[in-house]
A = this chain, B = another copy of it.
Amino acid sequence: MELGFGAAYEAFRAEVRTFIAAHWPPADGNVKDPAAIRAFRDACTAQGYYARAVPRRYGGSEQPADIVKAEIIREEIRRADAPAEVRDGGITLLIPTLLEWGTEAQRQRFISPTLKGDYRWAQGFSEPGAGSDLASLRTRAVLVDDHWVINGQKIWSSYAHRAHYMFALVRTEPEAPKHEGISYLLIDLRQPGVTIRPLRQMTDQSEFCEVFFDDARTPADWIVGGRGQGWRITRTTLKHERGSLSGLSWTDSMLRGLIRLAREMRRDGQPAIDHPTIRAELAAIEAQSMALTYSTYRAISMTVHGQEPGLFSTMAKIASTDLAQRIAKLARDLLADDLLVMDGPQRKWIDRFMISLSMSIAGGTSNIQRNIIAERGLGLPREQRAGEA
């Protein structure tokens, strides 16, 4: 058992650190300069640090899969505060899909500019009335001559108001059974038939959008895979999402923030962090976070060695959601009066108190996650429902 990264990896780390130091910050010190940020990212790709899973012929760096190296790169980038690899839906979801299912023309056309950040993508899966239950979606596309004509509505599309394109699931075969009537289309969002309405969130910020299609059009060959294969494609794409350490660094930074907050706030005339109730709960949260961290390390180590990590792999997501809820609750207790105002020194904790709620919603509700743990993790029988075989 070895918890560090081992000598070979530490050598790699040194190499990464040297590379970053040579390229960041830019000579003029302007870390906000878009051109400098772009140049840095390009250099990272050329070096084999970014776009590691993408072949060179499409603009990637085509490296063998190595989540430990990937994590070292992330850690060192974070430590240097250098521009991280872009991790939007275009890169994490669309590119792998195109690599597996796309035509050569689609790959040539879309992958490289997406990697560079020139094309930004919105995801178009959810609809009002079809959230966790994608099979029931109703946005439809009809092939008219050489274009798909699209009508309907998508929702929860992150940053669609800033995106150029959307990869979307739409119903193209209305006569087919539910799952088999869906196709995977690429759509230019900047056309007259598309209306995008950002959804204002309860935090008074906007991240998600509604997207309305009113005779929007997309070329006939912007379909990925065959007609009616959209459902299958999406399922394989989602399967590609692998265990990663990135969720952990979020948890870790929340926890460190919480400790700082507990030092700043007071309770019963003493620093809150010295109060036994606060202190014990903070330690309990830390333990929960440690459990999650080291179980993830274990799962990743096993995956790397070709073993099946088992039960834990079904629960990583909901475990971090639960942790976020618990952090939000203790933050609430610490905030006390500051919970009343958005213009106080702890505004970010007010937002987090609310955002922790959206975590259990984003990407499938916690109840669906619990079903997965129970059925896939524990092997409990699926529920027999009326009308099912």
Contact = CB atoms under 8 A, between A and B. Distances in A.
Interface of A: 268, 275-277, 280, 384-388
A384 B386 CA distance: 6
A268 B275 CA distance: 13
Given A276-B276, A384-B387, 12 more contacts: A268-B276, A275-B276, A276-B277, A277-B277, A277-B280, A384-B385, A384-B386, A385-B385, A385-B386, A386-B386, A386-B387, A386-B388
A272 to B, nearest CB: 12
A340 to B, nearest CB: 21
Give the 4 A-B residue pairs with the shortest CB-CB distance, closest first.
A384-B386, A277-B277, A276-B277, A386-B386
14 contacts: A268-B276, A275-B276, A276-B276, A276-B277, A277-B277, A277-B280, A384-B385, A384-B386, A384-B387, A385-B385, A385-B386, A386-B386, A386-B387, A386-B388
Contacts of A268: 276
A384 B384 CA distance: 9
A159 to B, nearest CB: 36
Nearest to A388: B386
Contacts of A280: 277
Contacts of A387: 384, 386
A265 to B, nearest CB: 16
A268 B386 CA distance: 57
A277 B275 CA distance: 9
Contacts of A384: 385-387
Nearest to A389: B386
- Chain B CB within 10 Å, residue with most, of A275, A277, A388: A277
Contacts of A386: 384-388
Contacts of A275: 276
A267 to B, nearest CB: 9
A120 to B, nearest CB: 42
Contacts of A276: 268, 275-277
Nearest to A280: B277
A386 B381 CA distance: 14
Contacts of A385: 384-386
A268 B276 CA distance: 10
A387 B276 CA distance: 55
Contacts of A277: 276-277, 280
A158 to B, nearest CB: 32
A388 B385 CA distance: 9
A226 B31 CA distance: 89
A326 to B, nearest CB: 16
A275 B387 CA distance: 57
Contacts of A388: 386
A388 B384 CA distance: 11
A299 to B, nearest CB: 31
A173 to B, nearest CB: 28
A276 B386 CA distance: 52
A92 to B, nearest CB: 37
Nearest to A277: B277
A280 B277 CA distance: 9
A164 B388 CA distance: 50
A220 B143 CA distance: 78
Nearest to A276: B277
A367 to B, nearest CB: 14
A131 to B, nearest CB: 19
A234 B367 CA distance: 36
